[in-house]
Amino acid sequence: MRATPGPLVIIGGAEDKQGDCVILRELIRLAGGEQARIVVITAATEFPIEVGNEYVQVLTRLGAEEVHPLHIVKREDASAPFAVRLVERASCVFFTGGEQGRITRLLGGTQLDAALHRRHGDGLVLAGTSAGASVMSSTMIVEGEAETSPRPGIVHMEPGMEFLNGVVIDQHFAQRGRLGRLLSAVTKYPHHLGMGIDENTAVVVSGVECRVIGTGAVSIVDASALTYANVESADRGEPLALCGIRLHVLPAGHRFDLRDRRPILEDVEPHRGDEELTS
């Protein structure tokens, strides 16, 4: 029988670590509950010891059986037998926040990279927060201006870790006003969906379907039906004209079909605002 790839838990950053911890509890559940064996890769951060220890403490407190930090500070670390063995026996690998470019520079093409893709294909849960969320896609936003309208040249894109194809992910989305830069990104790559994830919010991807958990929302930008864009004529720094783009905003409990590019609304309770107004 052909193996099924494991779920992806893609977190928009600043996930709750003190209260109900909905996202991290769901991560542990998917990873095996009390038998969860989680490896925390700290490659993105400049403070690997502190960040790694924080996740060890919170994930252990929430019930994971084992939590091991894995500090990758140079490329040789990502081909060390110890690092590969940790991933081989893990039920979940979690990428912390920091700078997403550090993850791809340190891990890309290494034995650890190969082990992650092989194990994910066999069912390993992969998760990431903030920068660790951005690297999940095949093409990622490395940097870009926020709190602005879409404009040419305001986003810099690079290859990601390629765990999720056909999607560009942005994080801290509503909190940092990143709609303009996500629109700019999908204008450059209209065959990709744009996925903007708020803080303390996550997308759980299983196959071609994803569902939203947490306290915020996920904004999905679809430029496949783009009818007009002045990308070729607009000067750098000038606002772009974009017509025909679809925008879906999905809070917790909502699902989306990534293959068919449509929200899944069959099991969502209809809005009853009109009845309340007339009753």
- What are the boundaries of each domain within the chain? 8-256
Radius of gyration of the chain (CA): 19
Instruction: Specify whether the CB–CB gap between 172 and 12 falls below 8 A.
Output: yes
CATH class, domain 8-256, is: alpha beta
Q: Which of 130, 134, 184, 219 is catalytic?
A: 130
Q: What is the dihedral of CA 227, 171, 141, 79, to 10 degrees?
A: -140
Per-residue model confidence (pLDDT) at position 1: 52
* Residue 199 annotated as catalytic: yes
* Residue 130 annotated as catalytic: yes
Per-residue model confidence (pLDDT) at position 211: 98
Per-residue model confidence (pLDDT) at position 279: 35
- In the chain (279 residues long), the average pLDDT of successive 10-residue segments reads 87 98 98 98 98 98 98 97 98 98 98 98 98 97 95 95 97 98 95 98 97 98 95 88 97 98 86 44
* Residue 271 annotated as catalytic: no
Per-residue model confidence (pLDDT) at position 276: 44
Q: Which of 137, 199, 219, 254 is catalytic?
A: 199
Q: Which of 134, 137, 172, 254 is catalytic?
A: 172
Per-residue model confidence (pLDDT) at position 2: 59
Instruction: Specify whether the CB–CB gap between 254 and 217 falls below 8 A.
Output: no
